[in-house]
Amino acid sequence: RRLLADFEILQRSATSSTSIVNGQRSQTRQVLLDLSPRREGLLAIPGLRIGASTSEPVAVEVGPPPAPTDANQTVVVSAEVDSQEVYVQGQILLTVRIQQAINLDSRSVSELQLDNAYVQPLEQNSFQRTQDGRPWLVHEVRYAIFPEQSGTLTIPPQVFTGRESSGRRSVFDFGSGGRQLQRRTEPLTVNVLPRPSAFPANDTWLPARDLVLEESWSKIPDTLQAGESVTRTITLRGTGLQGAQLPPITFEAQDGLRYYPDQPAVTDAESAAGLVGQRRESAALVANRAGRFTLPEIRIPWWDVAQDTVRYAVLPARDITVAPGASATASPAATQTESPGATDALLPLDPAPKGHNRLWQWLTAFFAVLWVATIALFWRLRPAVQATPPNAPPRNNSEARAFKQLQAACASDSAAPARAALLHWAQAYLDMPRPLRADELARHLGDDSLSQAIAELDAALYRSGSSQWRGAALAAAVTELRRRKGGKRDRAVDTFALYPTTTS
């Protein structure tokens, strides 16, 4: 405790060796600590206990750091954001850039933790460049940050730690290497704006760089016959948004048309502009009768953060024509081929064929409806398989950090951030390869209180006229679930040795 008051332990390691001299065996154990002073002045390294022995205290005089010049800089660390201003729940891109002119070992960057924002690490980038005839190796560590409340967001200094390569390796090199280096970035502040009043009050708040609404069909819908089914897929894709932020799409049934929706697929991808969230909804469309139908327009508002105005992603209304089914067209053709004479000759037998045809038509219709229902049930019950992109960035969703973000969103009664935080917490808690959907979460955890809290959250987000959402019930349900099941082991993921690790 006394050591940590004045020093930060950057790295620790231990070695042991055994030697035999003149038949006498001796064993040596060595503990190596890399220390960084927290302040200037005369500091004391207290005696350290190793087994039954204690080292002598050591006094150290710590002076101010030397002012670096462009000529002697060998490692330069900086941080920048892509904008000084962002709307609440909008995306800010943070880039931590490490430039090195020397070889380094054991490079690491401290973990970025923010109390009132969701943080998603993005894919890292490395390249080389030459400046003033001097070669530099450049590493870029990027984060997508989504503030959860308006006001001032402070990004603390990020700490880079590395060790100069000693240049010589041998079997007796136990990893002490060269000189330890540490660099800190300057703190950054971002102004977080509230949701503008010009945005429609009853719609999901979507601050984005772009929002695209698309549809596709399993076959041309105008070739549809009564009793047949066709799959309609609608995709909503937002640049600068998480997939969990995108609202569900409602398929509106009408007289003669029925929808059998599948489970939605929610994914996140990366681009140069940060996260690209996507929500894909599919449904089997079944026409119960022939005729002409109009599928209504789908219109989703979003806020263009570049132009600072409201825009709409629109899927235009569509007219489709459904032809009569095969069973309906067969009877008239057969009737027209009959001659009056033949009809008279068959008159005594007329009741039997009519009853037989009617029974055949009813059986055909019954089995057609049964086939369509079976297909729809298969689509609804099949497991949603979602592939992880081969180049997806490693996950770094600490369960404890995700739980803290969920608590913050619940405490501020922020429904949309709470839903996003809930899904990311569940991903870390259940150790899943992708964020879960709300229905999957309820199924995996099997907790009635949590299922009820999720239903209330979705009602507040997606049903018009719902009352103001309160986060206390959701926070209590998740807290109680963690208490009963004993929390979760936290599995760290290392990328470009992003976060410092210690060994003892």
Rounded Cα gap, residues 415 and 460, in angstroms: 7
- Contact by Cβ (8 Å): 323, 289: no
pLDDT of residue 459: 73
**CA max distance for the chain:** 128
pLDDT of residue 221: 84
Average pLDDT, integer, range 348-366 = 51
Q: Is residue 282 part of a domain?
A: yes
Kindly state whether residues 50 and 84 are assigned to the same domain: no
**Structure confidence by residue, pLDDT tens digits, 64-118:** 765 554 556 789 999 999 999 999 999 999 999 999 988 887 788 888 989 889 9
Kindly state whether residues 172 and 248 are assigned to the same domain: no
Rounded Cα gap, residues 223 and 221, in angstroms: 5
**Structure confidence by residue, pLDDT tens digits, 378-415:** 555 554 434 333 333 334 447 888 888 888 888 888 88
Per the DSSP assignment, residues forming a β-bridge with 19 are 26
- Contact by Cβ (8 Å): 77, 96: yes
Average pLDDT, integer, range 129-135 = 83
**Structure confidence by residue, pLDDT tens digits, 78-90:** 999 999 999 999 9
**Structure confidence by residue, pLDDT tens digits, 158-205:** 999 888 876 554 444 444 456 778 888 999 999 999 999 999 999 999
Q: Is residue 361 part of a domain?
A: no
User: Of 140, 135, 111, whose CA–CA distance to 124 is shortest?
Assistant: 140
Q: Is residue 177 part of a domain?
A: yes
Average pLDDT, integer, range 11-31 = 77
Kindly state whether residues 231 and 375 are assigned to the same domain: yes
Lowest mean pLDDT among 24-38, 446-460, 481-495: 481-495
Q: Is residue 497 part of a domain?
A: no
Q: Is residue 494 part of a domain?
A: no
Q: What is the CATH number of the domain that holds 98?
A: 2.60.40.740
Whether the pLDDT of residue 208 is over 70: the answer is yes
- Contact by Cβ (8 Å): 38, 65: no
How many helices (H) and strands (E) in the chain? 9, 27
Tally the domains of the chain: 4
Residue type, 405: Q
The runs of H, that is alpha helices, within 307-397 are 326-336, 340-345, 351-381
Rounded Cα gap, residues 320 and 328, in angstroms: 19
Kindly state whether residues 376 and 260 are assigned to the same domain: yes
Kindly state whether residues 413 and 450 are assigned to the same domain: yes
Residue finishing a domain among 162, 193, 224: 193
Kindly state whether residues 417 and 443 are assigned to the same domain: yes
Per the DSSP assignment, residues forming a β-bridge with 8 are 36
pLDDT of residue 170: 45
Q: Is residue 343 part of a domain?
A: no
pLDDT of residue 387: 39
Whether the pLDDT of residue 128 is over 60: the answer is yes
Q: Is residue 289 part of a domain?
A: yes
Average pLDDT, integer, range 450-459 = 81
- Contact by Cβ (8 Å): 475, 406: yes
The DSSP output letter for 227 is T
Rounded Cα gap, residues 74 and 102, in angstroms: 6
Can you give 378-436 as a three-state secondary structure string?
HHHHCCCCCCCCCCCCCCCCCHHHHHHHHHHHHHCCCHHHHHHHHHHHHHHHHCCCCCC
Kindly state whether residues 118 and 16 are assigned to the same domain: no
Whether the pLDDT of residue 305 is over 90: the answer is yes
CA distances from 287 to 101, 226, 256, 291 (A): 68, 5, 6, 9
**Sequence-separated (6 or more) residues with CB below 8 Å from residue 502:** 9, 11, 12
Whether the pLDDT of residue 495 is over 50: the answer is no
Q: Is residue 413 part of a domain?
A: yes
- Contact by Cβ (8 Å): 15, 32: yes
Kindly state whether residues 113 and 226 are assigned to the same domain: no
Kindly state whether residues 187 and 230 are assigned to the same domain: no
Kindly state whether residues 250 and 376 are assigned to the same domain: yes
Kindly state whether residues 481 and 433 are assigned to the same domain: yes
Residue finishing a domain among 17, 40, 62: 62
Local confidence band at 361 (pLDDT 50, 70, 90 cut-offs): low
Q: What is the CATH number of the domain that holds 253?
A: 2.60.40
Residue 293 sits in which domain range? 207-325+370-381
CA distances from 277 to 208, 228, 324, 358 (A): 10, 33, 41, 53
Kindly state whether residues 33 and 82 are assigned to the same domain: no
CA distances from 52 to 15, 48, 55, 58 (A): 17, 11, 10, 19
